Amino acid sequence: MDRPTPAVSQTTVTRIQDMIRKGELCPGEVLPPQRELSERLNVSRSSLREALSVLETIGVLRTEPRRGTFVANGSDGNTDVQAWRFGQRYSPPEVYQFRFVVEGYAARLTALRASPRDLTALNRNLEKFKEAVRKEDLVVSSRLDFEFHSRIMRVSGNRMFAAVHASYGAVMLESQKLPLNRRERLWEPVTEHENILQAIEKQDPDGAVYFMHVHILRAANRVGIELADKVA
């Protein structure tokens, strides 16, 4: 089975957006079947599916059961209404609320027990994240964002935190794709990750939980969700 390549998936995202901007695909128009579109773009179907998932999450496309995938109105990706694939299970506010509580405490534990090797891995992730955001590589940046949080859950030493985060990885990753529709705010999570990591490096548990809370509150805000009036 072929696996999606991040670079190919991101290129496919860009090419589909170009097709929309050029009027080759118009708002309200249904996309060609995946087999036809993958041949047209000369990409694997797995890479195409990942690209379509990103575009749907950031509001450029919408999928209607038994009807197909359509170009959304307001297809420049700046709409506040994004597709949410897990609506029958959890709402986006529920996911961000869960992350606020659990990831905040995980950051606290990580600040107390992170090894030099852990810190090196987190710093390496941050540098790659910066590079992906500079390139506006939505596919890679969302994966690196997920990896940063996943690593903190593992380094916390709480095996249940790590297991739950891994089990619900698709939901967590989707919540990290949602803010990508705010292209003018793409750099914000980079700064937020820097603040979290600096607190962890200083072995400052209160700072780590504070900056993780700020990060998740602002991530929710970037998709129009207000979790709280202030950080607890």
pLDDT given at position 73: 75
Last residue of a domain, one of 71, 104, 126: 71
Query: How many structural domains does the chain have?
Result: 2
Query: 81 pLDDT exceeds 50?
Result: no
Q: Is residue 98 part of a domain?
A: yes
| 3-class DSSP assignment, residue 153 | helix
196 and 139 fall within a common domain? yes
What CATH number has the domain bearing residue 47? 1.10.10.10
Task: Count how many residues are written for the chain.
Answer: 232
67 and 176 fall within a common domain? no
The continuous run of DSSP H or E covering 120 comes out as helix 116-134
3-49 pLDDT tens trace: 666 677 778 888 888 888 888 888 889 999 999 999 999 999 988 98
Q: What is the pTM of this model?
A: 0.75
CA separation, residue 131 to residues 14, 61, 73, 164, 191 (Å): 17, 26, 31, 29, 13
pLDDT given at position 2: 59
56 and 106 fall within a common domain? no
Domain span at 127: 92-222
